[in-house]
Amino acid sequence: MAVFITGGAGFIGSAFIRAWAQWYPAETVINFDKLTYAGNLDNVAAVAHHPTYCFVRGDICDAEALRAALPDGCDAVVHFAAESHVDRSILSAREFIMTNVLGTQVLLDVAREKGVKRFLHISTDEVGGSIPEGQLFAEDSPLAPSSPYAASKAAAEHLVRAAVHTFGLNAVITRTSNNYGPYQFPEKLIPLALTNALEDRPIPVYGDGRQVRDWIHVDDHCTALRMVLEKGRPGATYHIGGRAPLENRTVLTMLLELLGKPMSLLTEVTDRPGHDRRYAVDCSRIERELGWRPQIPFAEGLAQTITWYREHRDWVARARSGEYRRYYAQMYGALCRC
Ligand code: NAD
Ligand code: TYD
């Protein structure tokens, strides 16, 4: 199966590409990524020289670039590319609307033109907004996004469903909870707290730190995506969660204990405006229909993630500085295209 991945230099997209290369070493993978601050070709260095892998630097808002890169009759598009950080969307929503909304529509249009056989759209549990204690967000629950990021992802989902309904596109949507694991840009809670703690720097705790997120290891998420891509019902939506709902303070306490660092690093700061209190996804559909369940317990996955960040301080420094972008521009230049 030839797959066209958008956002494959980011955290989850790159994990999917690395896993795909293990699952299907002979299958073609095209990684189409703009290389924003969050895109890092170091994340896919392990597959960069595979004969079946190719990287194209491009923007999903650019229909011509997509037409040039997406093969006719491609077996599948897996759409990860997005602006993904809530705090940045609060500072400025423009790029979120451009990439997450307009970019998704441009990609859908080109996918249709090119006769793409299957379209997997990666969404988020945040489109459901904050979920009251005792309730779960199910696939058919109403969407109630509350941050500009979540609103842009909800809009993207509507566009995918419109393409299914109007044009018969063979698309499936997944909504996942908070991912963690290696190669995550150190702006999200776990990698930010971890990298700060390793340098004995304070860890910002927004508000009272009692907000609840459901944590899933990125490798468990990728396994679920493969199942949905291969066996999910056309037009359906599947929730993917880690079955590890935890308060932020609990996550941070576990992290500091595993690192052997003092709790005094936790520093309460002003809360995020409009901060969603609780996310909680109902994952019974994917478990029932496709037989998927998360395999990596949170404590184990967190310990493994800590080890990875301890051993990859050079990656952290390069990711923070954007140095890899200059390096790849110099070393590869045009070779970064197919
Ligand atoms: P990320 O920010 O790590 O990576 C995003 C990637 O998309 C980067 O490589 C970036 O260069 C690329 N990109 C951004 N704009 C682009 C554009 N206009 N054209 C082409 N490429 C572009 O994100 P992530 O954490 O890997 O998330 C991947 C997907 O999963 C996103 O759609 C996100 O909304 C969704 N998601 C993430 C999480 C999470 O916990 N990280 C949870 C739920 C859903
Ligand atoms: P984040 O990783 O940004 O994911 P999301 O907002 O998409 O769930 O944040 C996870 C939780 O951690 C969220 O409740 C906000 C909180 N948080 C902090 O308390 N401190 C931080 O420095 C960050 C980045 C997040």
Nearest ligand to the C-alpha atom of residue 130 = 2
Of the listed 42, 125, 157, 282, which one is catalytic?
Answer: 125
Query: Alpha-carbon distance 321 to 314, whole Å?
Result: 11
Is residue 149 annotated as a catalytic residue, yes or no?
A: yes
Residue 337 has pLDDT above 80, yes or no: no
**How far is 66 from 256, CA to CA, in rounded Å?**
44
Ligand located closest to 82 CA: 1
Mean per-residue pLDDT, 185-199: 97
Output the CA angle 100-247-222, nearest 5 degrees. 45
**Does 118 contact ligand 2 (Cβ within 6 A)?**
no
Q: What is the mean pLDDT of the chain?
A: 95
336 lines ligand 2 (CB under 6 A): no
Q: Tell the residue number behind the tokens 């990859």, with chain if given.
A: 312
SS (H, E, C) 315-337: HHHHHHHCHHHHHHHHHCHHHHC
288: CB partners within 8 A, 6+ apart: none
Q: What is the mean pLDDT of residues 72-80?
A: 98
Q: Could you report how far apart the first and last alpha carbons of the chain are, in Å?
A: 18
What lies within 8 Å, CB to CB, of 331 at 6+ separation is: none
Atom of ligand 1 nearest to the CA of 13: 26
Q: What is the pLDDT of residues 218-255, one digit of tens each?
A: 999 999 999 999 999 999 999 999 999 999 999 999 99
Structural domains in the chain, CATH included, are 2-179+218-241+280-297+318-332 (3.40.50.720)
Regarding the beta carbon of 248 and ligand 2, being less than 6 Å apart is answered: yes
Tokens of 210: 């009692």
Give the pLDDT mean for 94-111: 98
Selection from 49, 39, 52 nearest residue 2 by Cα: 52
- At residue 94, the pLDDT reads 98
- Please, which residues have CB within 8 angstroms of residue 326's CB and are 6 or more apart in sequence? none
Pocket test for ligand 2, best of 12, 188, 216, 218 (most atoms within 8 A of CB): 188
**88, 90, 95, 96 alpha-carbon torsion, rounded to 10°:** 100
Residue 294's contacts (CB-CB under 8 Å, 6 or more residues apart) are 216, 217, 220, 224, 241, 242, 243, 244
pTM confidence score:
0.97
Q: Which atom of ligand 2 is nearest to the CA of 87?
A: 3
88-101 b/e (C-beta count within 10 Å ≥ 16 → b)? bbeeebeebbebbb
